[in-house]
A and B are shown apart, each in its own frame.
Chain A
Amino acid sequence: MHVLLIEDDTEAARFLVKGLRESGYSVDHAADGREGLFRATEGQFDLVVTDRMLPHIDGLAIIELMRRKGIATPVLVLSALGSVDDRIRGLKAGGDDYLTKPFAFAELLARIEALLRRRSSSPQTTRLRVEDLEFDLLARRVTRGGREVELTARELKLLEFLMRRAGQVVTRTMLLEGVWDLHFDPQSNLIDVHISRLRQAIDRGTDHPLIHTVRGSGYVLRSDA
């Protein structure tokens, strides 16, 4: 997977490039807006990660110009501006996700993964299946090994979010945004409690649990132990 990183903070960029390479991505780095725009419109990338405040050309302007040229490559916006309307503006400009600095590297990694996989998943699916866990999206019914599992509306939403991203790491922030539509971090360990309830319902009494905790990142729903 080929990622373009547009970031003028050279020190931060060095660590990001190194981390992404270690995680198996091939990374190009552009140090200002002009170079970033050139690379983003000329090269073939699977994903663009851009800082918002850049010398010469602003990060949001790069996205707008890309979209005007018909380049649909997913873009993740990194920004030191974290207010609610900064976020709205970032997504309006055509960005696919918005991450406020400073962020955990694991958070960035999880979001990059989610953006890259998003292109392959089809929203028209009516039935999700991971091992013996089945989710009938139309009837909103869940069974584990053929046995019906009783879940609340919110737990169903949470499970759907995890199942649609089966095999991917999903962070707590991603869950708050995707399941509860909350774009800020409450201080409590809210998500952990909800996940543990869901885990009780899904994995109790089975010898191979599906919901796993990824230390320092979040959760993943996958078939192997």
Chain B
Amino acid sequence: MRLDLINTTAFRLSVGYTLLVTLAVSVTLGSAYLLTESLITDEVDLIIDSELKSLEEKYARSGLPGVTDEINLRIDSWGRIGAVYMIADSNFERIAGNVTNWPFDGMPTEARPEFEIATIEPGRRAVHPVRAAVRTLPGGDLLLVGTDISQGRRFAEKFRVATLWGIGLSTLAAALAGFWFSYRLARRVDEVTRTCQRIMAGDLGSRLPVAGARDEFDSLAQSVNRVLDRLEDQAGTLRATFDSAAHDLRAPLHRLRTRMDALLLRTPPLEPGVHESVEAALHEVDRLQRTLGTLLQIALAESGTPLAAPAPVDVGELAAELVELFEPVAGSQGVALACRHEPQTLVHGNRQLLAQLLTNLIENGLKYVPRGGAIEVGVRRLSDCVRLTVSDNGPGIAAGDRARAVQPFVRIGHGKQEGSGLGLSLVAAIARLHRGRLQLESNEPGLRVVVELPC
């Protein structure tokens, strides 16, 4: 399994954090920018207002010539840097000031109109933005006072670039940090997942890695490892219990069988009627033994004890061999038994158990399919598993009974009920032991058993 970073919680979280960081930085720097810009403009407006006021007062005191003198004085001697003045008549013709032409198309409508002037500076021609205010003097002339705001503009421009860089860099840093964190987190979680999968596959001795960082992952790993210790312990105990159960149940059966065997081999031989009875009893002992064996096998498989020494098994080939083995019996029952399998249908598992699984399914079919019917065993390779199907056109199992049919000692239908009622339970147990899946479906008509075994 490849590490799929995008689908991890850590990755999604870090994407979220990155967006949050970007938003926070944007809001902070953006509002600082807007604030600074408005501060600069306010400052400029304040200067313009106070100059306008003093020039209007000058006009009130000494009329147009006084203001003209005052402006010329300010331009020449102590004028502030970037100051722009102009007095024009009502036809917008220049009377005085350091602007050659009226910069607006008529009377500007805004309170603080802006325009550009070209200045000749040593060696180059420059264009300067100017912010201004216009007053109509009592005599009908126009007074314009402005300030070159190119410096403020440059400052604002620099501020804007810096802000954008700041947002970009902090986003990048947050994204990189997020990626790094989520990668590390995902890798540790992935390690845990892999180990768990290995354990599921039967390596009950495997443990989660403890990094020694004493973080929450280590404590999680330690807790899981303790659970695994207990599980392994229990599996061992269970195994020992099954072993002694098998021994304690089989030993008396064995003595019973041996005694009956001895009776049959006795000289002089038993009377024919007695001989038959003993043989029949022996047959029952064998049945009992088989049921016991199957039960123990199911219990062992269900106990979570992993497969011992799994090896590659070609399920298709195995199915073909078993179909060949059963074909004569099927033929004698008037049932057509056939196998269709793809090449190279390899499964990691136990050949004997898989053969037992196939045998049970074929025997089940032979038990229920009437003369003239057909059973088909199919093995196909899918992308990540091998799909084994055993389909027949017999009576099938009603949809409501299918789940029950897999349970031990449950017999469905009115077939020749000779079996132990454990056949499908053992199939389910063997499938589970191979991490596979068993499903009963309708073959329309009949039964289709589908077993999917991961490769």
A contacts, CB < 8 Å to B: 9, 11-12, 15-16, 18-19, 22, 53, 80-85, 88, 100-106, 154, 180-190, 193-194, 197, 216
Partner of A15, one of B262, B329, B356, B366: B262
The B interface, classified by DSSP as helix, strand, loop or mixed, is: helix
A88 touches B254 (CB 8 A): no
A213 to chain B, nearest CB (A): 16
A16 and B262 alpha carbons, distance in the complex (Å):
9
Could you say which residues of chain B place their CB within 8 Å of the CB of A216?
Answer: 264
For the complex, what is the distance from the CA of A81 to the CA of B309, rounded to whole Å?
Answer: 17
> A-B pairs with the 4 shortest C-beta distances?
A85-B308, A102-B254, A80-B250, A193-B328
Check A190–B326 contact: CB distance below 8 A: yes
Chain A residues with Cβ below 8 Å from B265 are 19, 22, 105
Q: Are B363 and A82 in contact (CB-based, < 8 A)?
A: no
In the complex the two chains form, is A9's CB within 8 Å of B366's CB?
no
Question: How many chain B residues have a CB neighbour from A under 8 Å?
Answer: 43
Q: Is the CB–CB distance between B261 and A12 below 8 Å?
A: no
Pick out which of these stretches binds chain A: B2-10, B11-19, B21-29, B289-297.
Answer: B289-297
Chain B hits for A190, CB < 8 A: 325-326, 328-329
Nearest to B261 among chain A residues (CB) is A105
- What is the minimal beta-carbon distance from B174 to any residue of chain A, in angstroms? 55
Cβ–Cβ contact A84 & B328, under 8 A: no
A15 near B258: Cβ-Cβ < 8 Å: yes
Cβ of B356: which chain A residues have Cβ within 8 Å of it?
Answer: 184
Determine the residue in chain A with the shortest Cβ distance to B267.
A22
| Distance A104 CA – B352 CA, assembled complex (angstroms) | 22
Report how far A85 CA is from B298 CA in the complex, Å. Answer: 14
Quick one: given A105-B262, A188-B366, are A193 and B332 in contact (CB under 8 Å)? Answer: yes
Q: For window 232-289 of chain B, which residues contact chain A by CB distance below 8 Å?
A: 243, 246-247, 250-251, 253-259, 261-262, 264-265, 285, 289
15 A–B contacts, CB within 8 A, in A order? A12-B254, A12-B258, A83-B300, A84-B350, A84-B352, A100-B250, A105-B262, A154-B324, A180-B321, A182-B359, A184-B359, A186-B325, A187-B419, A188-B366, A190-B329
Option from A102, A188, A193 in Cβ contact (under 8 Å) with B250: A102
Q: Does B64 contact A (CB under 8 A)?
A: no
Interface pair A101/B329, CB less than 8 Å apart = no
B385 within 8 Å of A (CB atoms): no
Q: Which residues of A contact B164 (CB under 8 A)?
A: none
Q: Looking at the complex, which one of A15, A83, A193 makes contact with B297 (CB distance below 8 Å)?
A: A83
Q: What are the residues of chain B within 8 A of A101 when measuring CB–CB?
A: 250-251, 253-254
Q: Which of A80, A81, A154, A186 contacts B363 (CB 8 A)?
A: A186
Q: Is the CB of A84 within 8 A of B329?
A: no
Answer yes or no: B185 CB below 8 A from chain A CBs.
no
B353 interface hit (Cβ, 8 Å): yes
For the complex, give the distance between the alpha carbons of A100 and B246 in Å.
11
Knowing A12-B255, A18-B262, A186-B359, say if A80 contacts B352 (CB, 8 Å): no
- Beyond known contacts A84-B353, A105-B261: 17 more, CB 8 A cutoff: A9-B254, A9-B255, A53-B247, A102-B250, A102-B253, A104-B257, A105-B258, A154-B324, A180-B321, A181-B351, A184-B356, A188-B326, A188-B329, A190-B325, A190-B326, A193-B332, A194-B325
- The listed residue (A19, A85, A186, A187) touching B261 by CB distance below 8 A is A19
B355 close to chain A: CB less than 8 A: yes
B255 with A183: CB separation less than 8 A:
no
- Give the CA-CA distance A53 to B350 in the complex, in Å: 25
Contact (Cβ within 8 A) A102 B297: no
| Closest residue of A by beta carbon distance from B259 | A15
Residue of B nearest to A8 (CB): B251
Cβ-defined partner of B309 (8 Å) among A85, A100, A181: A85
Given A18-B262, A190-B325, are A185 and B308 also a contact pair (CB < 8 Å)? no
Within the complex, the shortest CB–CB distance from B430 to chain A, in Å, comes to 10
0/1 string, B317-359, CB within 8 A of A gives 1: 0000100111011001000000000000000001111011001
How far in angstroms is the closest Cβ of chain A from B314? 13
